[in-house]
Amino acid sequence: MTSASTPVIGPSRCNCAALRKASRRMSQFYDSVLAPCGLKSTQYAMLTEIARQGAAPPTIRELAEVLVMDQSTIGQNLRPLEREGLVALVQDEADRRSRRITLTKVGRSRFAAAEPLWRVAQERFEGGFGRRAAADLRAVLGTIARDPSLADAGEGSLR
């Protein structure tokens, strides 16, 4: 009898696959907790970063860099938020190529409403995983996210 009830996720040796599986599971979890406020984990992460900048609204490029995303991805992902009036893109007067991403009043309100839910997700996860373990894991993940040798691996052969 194949154990259909408890499938072993598997001792895959692939660092990338391991990271992606965990990332999908974690996203499932945060998405399910955030669902009542109508924001996905990606949207919450973007709003967090935009709110954190506060006085100096980031450009698409800056936001992409911080969130380890592609510029086009940011542009696409901003569309639903813009459509719902949570963010507004205003052309930078100094450099008119750039558009700075600002939180609207509605955006700040929706973000504030989402924050308690995010805290619930944080508490629930760290309650099981360990607060210290979570902090350690975030630190390790941060070194990976910022590692320039991973980021620039495919840059040289293109230009």
Among 15, 94, 105, 116, binds its own copies (CB under 8 A): 15
Under the binding rule (CB under 8 A), the answer on residue 26 touching its own copies is yes
State both tokens at 93: 């007067």
For residue 69, is it left (φ>0), alpha (ψ between -120 and 50) or beta?
A: beta
Instruction: Tell me the per-residue interface mask from 39 to 68 with DNA, x by CB under 7 A, - otherwise.
Output: -x-xx---------------xxxx-----x
- HEC-encoded secondary structure of 27-49: HHHHHHHHHHHCCCHHHHHHHHH
Decide: residue 108, CB within 10 A, 0-12 exposed, 13-18 middle, 19+ buried: middle
Q: How big is the site for its own copies, counted in residues (CB under 8 A)?
A: 67
Interface residues with its own copies (CB under 8 A) are 2, 7-33, 35, 41-42, 45, 48-49, 52, 54, 56, 62, 65-69, 118, 121-122, 124-126, 128-129, 133-134, 137-138, 140-142, 144-147, 149-151, 153-154
